[in-house]
Amino acid sequence: MEHQVASTTTGAADSIPSHYRSRLGSVCCGWPRDAYVPLMVFFSRPLPKPHPRFVTENDEPVYLETWRRGLLEAKVERALEELKECRICPRNCGVDRVADEQRVCRTGRHAIVSSAFPHFGEEDCLRGSNGSGTIFFGLCNLRCVFCQNWDISQREKGRQLNAEQVANLALELQDLGCHNINFVTPEHVAPQVVEALAVAIPRGLRIPIVYNTSAYDGLESLQLMDGLVDIYMPDFKFWDCESARTLAKAKDYPEVARAAISEMHRQVGDLRVGTDGLARRGLLVRHLVMPGQIEETEAIMKWLAQEISPDTYVNLMGQYQPQYQVKELGTNGSHRYQQINRRPTAAEMSAAHEAARRAGLTRLDSRAS
């Protein structure tokens, strides 16, 4: 059955099924319902039956063992040390964020949180029946000219929260029945994520952690996450350095993303799910199919199959549409980014899926296949 997308108009919260609405009340994690409901998608179909080869019976999040071994405090100390001369992401700004200095990501000592809510628009294995507990961090270390969330990634919109406050959000989302905690755009606030988890875990956090990233991650930050993150979900955007320079202002993106995804896979391996079909641990790679860039898609799919694993779970996303600076006109009156000023065609989406299959990837997200 087709899914229902909640309206984006005022009063959209009224479209939440009554049994769920009664649990949310008028606010969720401190945000009014209308602030997050437009991003929620409700599904009536059951989860796909998992292939036995990718099923695990281990339901315990990896961070519990880290906690039991007494390693959380050392991770927090290391995380804060890295903030003092910031090398958290590949921008390597070198500013003292403990002293609230800022540079590329415009984030100082504490993370900015734009919203927090149960998200029903994520992959089936994440959203389940109760949603993925998303915590959207504000601002970003990339400058994607086409960003769909530019109003929070390129504008300071949200609240500056300390570790205890972020931990409270995670615990509230768990209490709402969310299947996981989904940290969205955490690349520039990895130390703050570590701090928050060190508060939330002893207080009873018991669901998987999803690290939902652009793949423009520093290796040291990812090593901090080793033993804390259950599911890595990078979006591998570009293969070509010139595309990355022009469209994200980060020429080194392809090299950084390959190193980051390799490290993610080293830590968690291929995606595994429980008998209920919900993700428990592993790597899930997203790729936003861009107009006119099928060659880059082909190269990324080939690399994933050959260098990571042919069992990599991949979501080829077709929701790209011209947004943000793509719609702007240059001084000559024409669009500045004319090459991506359209939606990908059906033929391009079909070619992307064929490229993945030809590369040997078989675990393609069922909603887009």
Percent of the chain with pLDDT over 70: 87
Whole-model pTM: value is 0.90
Tokens of 182: 């989904």
List the end-to-end C-alpha distance of the chain, in Å, as a whole number. 16
Nearest to 363 by CA among 288, 240, 270, 279: 270
40 pLDDT above the threshold of 80: no
Looking at every residue in the chain, the average pLDDT score rounds to 89
Mean pLDDT of 55-83: 97
> In the chain, what are the helix, strand and coil shares in percent, each to the nearest 5?
40, 15, 45
- pLDDT, tens only, 220-236: 999 999 999 999 999 99
Q: What is the pLDDT of residue 101?
A: 93
Q: What is the pLDDT of residue 5?
A: 32
* Partners of 287 in the β-ladder: 316
Q: What is the pLDDT of residue 21?
A: 43
* Partners of 210 in the β-ladder: 182, 231
Per-residue DSSP letter, 179: S
Mean pLDDT of 72-96: 95
Residues 116, 259, 230, 66, CA torsion sign: negative
Tokens of 101: 């200095």
- Interatomic CA distance for residues 149 and 166, integer angstroms: 21
Lowest mean pLDDT among 15-24, 112-121, 322-331: 15-24
32 pLDDT above the threshold of 70: no
Residues 239 and 86: beta-carbon distance below 8 Å:
no
Mean pLDDT of 22-35: 50
Percent of the chain with pLDDT over 90: 79
Lowest mean pLDDT among 58-72, 186-200, 310-324, 327-341: 327-341
187 pLDDT above the threshold of 70: yes
- Interatomic CA distance for residues 217 and 259, integer angstroms: 9
Mean pLDDT of 304-314: 98
264 pLDDT above the threshold of 60: yes
Nearest to 295 by CA among 242, 355, 339: 355
Q: What is the pLDDT of residue 188?
A: 95
- Interatomic CA distance for residues 253 and 251, integer angstroms: 6
Q: What is the pLDDT of residue 28?
A: 57
Nearest to 132 by CA among 185, 178, 177: 178
Q: How confident is the model at residue 156 (pLDDT cuts 50, 70, 90)?
A: confident
By residue count, the chain amounts to 369
Mean pLDDT of 15-29: 45
Output the CATH code of domain 46-284. 3.20.20
- Interatomic CA distance for residues 358 and 107, integer angstroms: 42
Residues 312 and 285: beta-carbon distance below 8 Å:
yes
Q: What is the pLDDT of residue 335?
A: 85
24 pLDDT above the threshold of 70: no
1 pLDDT above the threshold of 80: no
Q: What is the pLDDT of residue 23?
A: 46
Q: What is the pLDDT of residue 16?
A: 43
Q: What is the pLDDT of residue 207?
A: 98
- pLDDT, tens only, 342-365: 999 999 999 999 999 999 999 999
Q: How confident is the model at residue 331 (pLDDT cuts 50, 70, 90)?
A: confident
Q: What is the pLDDT of residue 30?
A: 63
